[in-house]
């Protein structure tokens, strides 16, 4: 039992290394940026300004 706990604590300690935290932060920032860009910039703009080209722009922003 103590060996399993020791292994678990080692894994936890490795998770808190600076590089791993940095990569997690970067990935979350990028995903948030793309999510916000997709939701707040594509939906209001294409519905108001583009009219007929809605579907093309919607497809473009989603991918």
H, E, C per residue of the chain: CHHHHHHHHHHHHHHCCHHHHHHHHHHHHHHHHHHHHHHHHHHHHHHHHHHHHHHHHHHHHHC
50, part of any domain: yes
28, part of any domain: yes
Q: Whole-model pTM?
A: 0.30
Query: Could you tell me the CA-to-CA distances from 37 to 2, 19, 25, 58, 59 in Å, in that order?
Result: 48, 27, 18, 12, 14
33, part of any domain: yes
Looking at the structure of the chain, the number of domains it has is 1
12, part of any domain: no
Domain span including residue 40 = 17-62
More confident residue, 49 or 12: 12
9, part of any domain: no
Residue 28 has pLDDT above 70, yes or no: yes
């Amino acid at each position: 039992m103590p060996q399993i706990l020791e292994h678990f604590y080692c894994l936890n300690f490795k998770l808190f290394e600076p590089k791993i935290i940095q990569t997690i932060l970067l990935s979350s920032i990028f995903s948030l940026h793309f999510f916000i860009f997709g939701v707040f910039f594509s939906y209001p703009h294409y519905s108001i300004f583009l009219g007929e080209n809605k579907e093309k722009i919607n497809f473009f922003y989603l991918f």
